[in-house]
Amino acid sequence: MNIEIISIGDELLIGQTINTNASWMGEKLFEIGTTVNWVTTVGDDHDLLIKTLEIAEQRADVILLTGGLGPTHDDVTKKAVCSFLKSELVVDQVVLEHVKKMFRERGIKMVKVNEEQAMVPDKAKVINNPVGTAPAMFFEKDGKKFFVMPGVPFEMKGIMQESVLPAVKELLNGKVAKKKFIATIGIGESTLFEKIGNIEEVEKYARVAFLPGFSGVKIRLIADGKNSTEADEKLKQADTLIQRNIKEFIYAEKDIPLEEAIVHLLTEKNNTLAVAESCTGGLLASKITNVSGSSQVFLEGVVVYSNQAKVNRLGVPENLINEHGAVSPQVAEKLAEQVRKLSGADFGLATTGIAGPTGGTPEKPVGLVYLGYADKNGAFAKKYMSKLNRLENKERFSYAALDLLRVNLKKV
Amino acid sequence: MNIEIISIGDELLIGQTINTNASWMGEKLFEIGTTVNWVTTVGDDHDLLIKTLEIAEQRADVILLTGGLGPTHDDVTKKAVCSFLKSELVVDQVVLEHVKKMFRERGIKMVKVNEEQAMVPDKAKVINNPVGTAPAMFFEKDGKKFFVMPGVPFEMKGIMQESVLPAVKELLNGKVAKKKFIATIGIGESTLFEKIGNIEEVEKYARVAFLPGFSGVKIRLIADGKNSTEADEKLKQADTLIQRNIKEFIYAEKDIPLEEAIVHLLTEKNNTLAVAESCTGGLLASKITNVSGSSQVFLEGVVVYSNQAKVNRLGVPENLINEHGAVSPQVAEKLAEQVRKLSGADFGLATTGIAGPTGGTPEKPVGLVYLGYADKNGAFAKKYMSKLNRLENKERFSYAALDLLRVNLKKV
């Protein structure tokens, strides 16, 4: 089975938007046991899109289109599909009701172009779009299957998960692929690779990928099998071999970010957390509150960005800042201790550092952070270095703080 | 002139590597006044690559290939090019000397596969690779021009800058393209489209695209011209027509997020800001502190996630919460007022709402937020609705709060 992805949009061709959609789709298709053969990116151009569809029709069996389904004039996908199918645009009542309902719920007035969003080619079947107004579509032409989705990533992802991936899976004739994620933190990709040892042995059972991100390195195992039992058995073998030497770095045996594991740990222990942030500027709190259910364990955060706020909001002694500087282990420790005390939480975490690009000195360069940790037994600080840009440093600092909590949480 | 990029590599099709090369190349070509028509991504597969070359040869005039030139067995580009050109691989002495020199300089021993890197198709002309050992190549076939480059980003970039971009520029005969962004907030894509009115009139001067994101809708204008003056003139005409009816929604005339515009506005006015967040959980503060230089205007944030924190940290009266609920205009207003007062900032912003997926009721559903605003003249709250998932709601809520500040900031 040959698969082609067609990504549509001028913004993809002029370097304004990187084609992460195709990458995500390729990964998800790979995970269910098949591989994309071509990705073709083309602009919002009616005629070029038709030519692209004609080529895809010849070489691929399943064609996934994304983009160009919005309400404005530069969205040409539906018209091109009509020409390609020799089909007419007609109003789909179900889609029209869906669009009306979404506007009603958001309390926004619908305008004429939104009604046009309910127009679909009469030879296409509408696929539900659980999160947006642009309708997704399916059609067949000479035995070739076409899925048409919006380019907005979260809409495309919703439709892929709900409809397209299950449909493609069905075409794979019982062949199954099972996957498992092992999420690690506090260890780099190459060290992890070395510690695991003989990867060739693991690859007898499953395909192994190392996926580094700010929230550590995730190991993805994919075992292929003629049936579910065979795939499960192979996955288990690979998993055992992988986990052997790296247990202390594993924070989850599924694809979740560290903040989710932390919230689960705190919930299990019936413990609470408060954070004091300087250089991470709210990102640490935001990560924790990304987790549904975090309100059970997260009491509060303070973003003490200015020195004045460190003193007034958390009672950090002014002379401590004057003596050691705001970016110091002494201040980090004090911030964690104070936010724990004032909030009444079981654990306090703090960050103070230099995210950059400015503000660094030879002694305290950009990328330096001191992380503070406090529990009922006391408080301490830990130094950590990152060497990336401002936003990436904020990410790294936040995860280093969460890892500090993960490691010490267990001991209390 | 039609341009096609062919990106070669299995890793691009299974989601392991995102195709940032094509994006970078598209941007650089756009900057010199031309646009890529297609990007085709294909795996390390000899036969599929030949088919891809045949299609590119038919539809494009300039074809840029990257990837698959490395020394290992899975790099198939040179062999496929040989088959496509009916050419033979021969040792290029200049390349061989270059490879030997690079190994000598790095003090690494050369192995046999490295010598094979000096083999090139006899009908291709070698292009200098200033930074690596894989030779880049140029060949012509039936008047179509092909450039072949390695996939390693810094090698590809070096070759593009030194050889390929100048060669493509020469083919353009002085033609240029100029672009401009108009960044809007507080108005949906379709309403924006309607307000602007006759887009066909604008498109006489420039290509128009609407790019929606959490930080509002950005409008991108691209004007083509026979020379720089003509392109500038057309861009100005289009810009004037676009801006006519939507002035109040424009926060920047360049491609920046709202938080950056806000930090600039506050800096210009020499004003300061503090925020109190419930449902956005630190994201609002984190967005502001993403902007380098925000420490000049952002004093502090408090993430008063629990009711206890709202009372203890900010002095919100307990009976106000009991009477109206934590998610209420009264509490939003009070949070903004209190954080402004306690921090000594000129402006206070606050959020209290239900990000979901749980915690909603019929009267206060998931997606409801009350935004609080305070300045020296007083405080008020504004209701806002979103209908997305937890993380997306947090994004929308944060930008709605920033927009509330943008609109009211000007009046003080």
What does the pLDDT read at residue A107? 80
Of all residues in chain A, the percent with pLDDT exceeding 70 is 100
Residue among A74, A162, A399 with most chain B CBs within 10 A, to mutate: A74
What does the pLDDT read at residue B106? 76
Beta pairing partners, B6:
B40, B65
**Chain B neighbors of A260, CB-CB under 8 A:** none
What does the pLDDT read at residue B315? 96
- Cβ neighbours of residue B358 closer than 8 Å, sequence gap 6 or more: A292, A293, B366
Task: Decide if B39 contacts A15 (C-beta within 8 A).
Answer: no
Q: Which long-range contacts (CB under 8 A, 24 or more apart) does A140-144 make?
A: A141/A57, A141/A84, A141/A85, A142/A57, A143/A61, A144/A57, A144/A60, A144/A61, A144/A62, A144/A63
Mean pLDDT by 10 residues, chain B (412 residues): 95 90 94 90 93 96 92 80 94 88 80 81 91 87 96 92 94 86 94 92 92 90 90 97 95 96 97 98 98 96 96 96 97 98 98 95 96 98 93 97 96 89
**Chain A neighbors of B301, CB-CB under 8 A:** 281-282, 301-303, 305
**Chain B neighbors of A70, CB-CB under 8 A:** 189, 210, 212
DSSP H helical segments within A75-130, as ranges?
77-85, 93-106, 112-116
Q: Does B22 touch chain A (CB under 8 A)?
A: yes
**Chain B neighbors of A392, CB-CB under 8 A:** none
Q: Does B296 touch chain A (CB under 8 A)?
A: no
Is the ipTM beyond the 0.95 threshold?
A: no
What backbone torsions phi and psi does residue A369 show, to the nearest 5 degrees?
-140, 145
Quickly tell me which residue has 């506050």 as its tokens. B266
**Cβ neighbours of A183 (radius 10 Å):** 24
Q: Do B48 and A38 touch (CB under 8 A)?
A: yes
What does the pLDDT read at residue B333? 98
pTM: 0.81
Count chain A–chain B contacts defined by CB atoms under 8 A.
292
**Chain B neighbors of A24, CB-CB under 8 A:** 15
A 92-111 → B contacts, CB under 8 A? 102, 105-109, 111
What does the pLDDT read at residue B70? 73
**Cβ neighbours of A388 (radius 10 Å):** 15
What does the pLDDT read at residue A214? 87
Q: pLDDT band for A390, please (50, 70, 90 cuts).
A: very high
Of all residues in chain A, the percent with pLDDT exceeding 90 is 75
What backbone torsions phi and psi does residue B100 show, to the nearest 5 degrees?
-60, -40
Question: Chain centroid to CA B126: how far?
Answer: 34
